[in-house]
Amino acid sequence: MNKTLKNLFLVFVLAIGVIALTGCGKKDLSTYVGTYEKEFEKFVGDSEEDKNTVDAWTIILNEDGTGKSNRDDESYDADWSIDGDNFKFTEKFGPIKNEYTGTLKDGKIDMFNGDPKNDLTLEVVLNKK
């Protein structure tokens, strides 16, 4: 009987391990994948009338965490990640990186390229196409 209890305990521990490892798998990013178009951009300290809604800016998010940023008639490679609603987007210009942080929720990106409380920080809002 003692051996049976040990075997049951071992099976239980292995089952818990399998469940834990399954939960640690790669996050499904497919709900975020796609093209996002700029709604507006502005500096945090600017008024609502100062919103730039004219210049085109699209962001493409791929499922592998890479992407593209298309603006100013240029296309830049990018990386992105998400943790909950917290979104991070990094444009790459050779060795130079331009980092944005913000949120991605319900098909809307609201991101900043600095401290969102600083008047000189750029805020960009994009919507999923």
pLDDT (tens place) for every residue of the chain, 129 residues total: 566 655 554 444 444 544 443 444 456 789 999 999 999 999 999 999 999 998 999 999 999 999 999 998 899 999 999 999 999 999 999 899 999 999 999 999 999 999 999 999 999 999 999
Q: Which run of H or of E encompasses 83?
A: strand 74-83
Question: Residue 5: inside a domain, yes or no?
Answer: no
> CA-to-CA distance for 121 and 69, rounded, in angstroms?
19
The answer to whether residue 13 is domain-embedded is: no
* Residue 27 within any structural domain of the chain: no
Q: How many domains does the chain have?
A: 1
Say which CATH number the domain at 81 has. Answer: 2.40.128.120
Residue 63's domain comprises 34-128
Q: How far apart are the first and last CA of the chain?
A: 63
In a domain, 75, yes or no: yes
Q: What is the dihedral of CA 94, 55, 33, 116, to 10 degrees?
A: 80
Look at strands 66-71 and 96-105 and give their pairing.
unpaired
- Dist. CA 98–CA 121, nearest whole Å: 13
Residue 66 in tokens: 């890479």
